[in-house]
C-alpha cells in the first residue's frame, strides 16, 4: 500500500500552483476580447450594411478609459486598443467593409517626435469615426478568494454628427484563490 501521507503535500502543492493567484486582466484576456469585438462589429447594422464600395471610414481609437477598481497602467490600456485594432478578423472586416482603424493621434505625435515614424506618416489621416473603449469592474472578495468582473464597453460614433452607431459591452470574469497576505 502506498504512503498517502507522503503524496498528499505534493498533490496540494500542484493544485495550488495551477490556481490563479491574481484576478487582474492579462494579455490573453485582451486577445480574446479583440476576437469578441471583431465578431460583434461584424454583426452591427452600421457595419453589416457596408461593402467594399461604401465610402471609406477612418476609425480612430484612443487609449481605453479605465474606470475599474484596478490601476491599469497606460501601456496595458494601449495594449487593449492595439489588440483590437490589429486583430486579424477586424483587419479583414475592414478590407471587406472599406474602413480602417488608425493609429491614435497621441501615438502618432509620439512616434513622429521620437523619430520612430517618418514625417508624412498618416498624412491622409482624417478620422470620420471613433471607436472608444471604457473598462469598468466589480469585485467580490472573501478570505481565500477574489473574483472580478471587468466590463469593457465599446462605442462606435460618427464624429461629424455625434451619432452613436454601435455600442456593446463584453464581460471578462477573473477569479483568484489564496490568502491575500501569501
pLDDT tens digits, one per residue of 154-173: 999 999 999 999 999 998 76
Range with the largest mean pLDDT of 20-34, 122-136, 152-166: 152-166
DSSP H or E stretch at residue 92: helix 88-97
Strands 164-177 and 145-158: antiparallel
Mean pLDDT within 116-125: 67
pTM above 0.85, yes or no: no
pLDDT in tens, 29-42: 777 888 888 899 99
* pLDDT(178) > 60: no
Domain ranges within the chain, ordered by starting residue: 23-177
What's 23-177's CATH class?
alpha beta
Amino acid at each position: 500500500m502506498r504512503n498517502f501521507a507522503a503524496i498528499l503535500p505534493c498533490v496540494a502543492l500542484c493544485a495550488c500552483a495551477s490556481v490563479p493567484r491574481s484576478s487582474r486582466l492579462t494579455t490573453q484576456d485582451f486577445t480574446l476580447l479583440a476576437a469578441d469585438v471583431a465578431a460583434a462589429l461584424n454583426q452591427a447594422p452600421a457595419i453589416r450594411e457596408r461593402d467594399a464600395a461604401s465610402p471609406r471610414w477612418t476609425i480612430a481609437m484612443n487609449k481605453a478609459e479605465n474606470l475599474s477598481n484596478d490601476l491599469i497602467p497606460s501601456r496595458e490600456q494601449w495594449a487593449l486598443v492595439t489588440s483590437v485594432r490589429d486583430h486579424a478578423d477586424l483587419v479583414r472586416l475592414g478590407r471587406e467593409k472599406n474602413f480602417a482603424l488608425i493609429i491614435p493621434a497621441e501615438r502618432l505625435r509620439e512616434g513622429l517626435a521620437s523619430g520612430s515614424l517618418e514625417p508624412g506618416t498618416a498624412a491622409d489621416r482624417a478620422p470620420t469615426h471613433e471607436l472608444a473603449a471604457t473598462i469598468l469592474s466589480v469585485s467580490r472578495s472573501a478570505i481565500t478568494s477574489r473574483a472580478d468582473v471587468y466590463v469593457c464597453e465599446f462605442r462606435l460614433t460618427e464624429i461629424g454628427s455625434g451619432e452613436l452607431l454601435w455600442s456593446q459591452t463584453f464581460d471578462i470574469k477573473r477569479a483568484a484563490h489564496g490568502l491575500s497576505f501569501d
